[in-house]
Structure 1
Amino acid sequence: MTRGILLAMLLGVAVVPSTLHAAPGAAARAEIGGLMQALEDSGCRFQRNGSWHDAAEARSHLQRKYDYLLKRGLADSAEQFIERAASRSSISGKPYRVACPGRAEQDAAPWFRQQLLRLRGG
């Protein structure tokens, strides 16, 4: 095989994966579902753009954001879900906040990371 053909094949392989929208694997889907369920079951309040919402409303909002990201292949892992959907407002850029009974209010990203560690048994 000539170097030119080999180079073209290698470049073609390198370009193809970036154009495909692969769905997250079963483990990632289970973790993301687990994160949303943890929020809903938490009894915590969730703040976005200055307004507080109960956990069920927050889960519904995050599900819509997750569905949007899935259509675009932008949430292939629980970490991407946290970073791209559950951390901050897509409109204002303001961080989401979580207030749980008996605990200090905090940004949502660390709260979700902690939940992910629990889901993974850590």
Structure 2
Amino acid sequence: MKISTSLCLAPVLALVLGTAHGAPTAPAVRTEILSLLQRLQDSGCEFNRNGSWYSGAEARGHLLKKLDYLESHDAALKRSEDFIQQAATSSSMSGKPYLVRCAAAAPVESKVWLTQELTKLRGGKT
């Protein structure tokens, strides 16, 4: 009895396709996220995570690590707003919201600040 090569490969192909990773973050979306994080770093604002204030550069580094983690675990980041919601809104350890404080202004939740900056980055378009 002769077994077709395609029949032998079918289970292997099904296994590979069944465990294939999702599509990576589109380059344009990743570029926009990186630009947004650069704005945070360059803003002179501080970033509150779990009760401690950090510089914009430290915040950028932390959020880059979260971006890398999400991408390595097949998170569906189809838009920059997905990144804000999934990584830049609150601590994954404590669940506490992140805050951004600029100069003498009252702190605002990072989701609000980042969304406003994203709108500016896009030239006022949502």
Instruction: Give the TM-score taking structure 2 as reference length.
Output: 0.78
Q: Give 1:38-53 correspondences, 5 Å limit.
A: 38-53=39-54
The superposition leaves residues 28-79 of structure 1 with CA deviations (integer Å, 9 ceiling, x where unpaired) of: 0111011100100000000000011111111110010100001122133201
1:70: which partner in 2?
A: 71
Where does residue 32 of structure 1 map in the other structure? 33
Which runs of structure 1 show a deviation greater than 3 angstroms over 4 or more consecutive aligned residues?
Answer: none
Structure number with higher helix proportion: 1
| Residue ranges of structure 1 left out of the alignment (5+ in a row) | 1-15
Cα distance in 2 for partners of 1:95, 1:79 equals 16
Gaps of 5+ in 2: 1-16
How many positions carry a matched residue from both structures?
107
TM-score (norm 1): 0.81
Letter matched to residue 34 of structure 2: G
- The aligned counterpart of 1:59 is 60
Partner letter of residue 56 of structure 2? A
Q: 1 CA distance for matches of 2:105 and 2:51?
A: 19
User: Which has the larger Rg?
Assistant: 2
> How large is the Cα RMSD of the aligned pairs?
1.8
| Identity of matched residues, % | 48
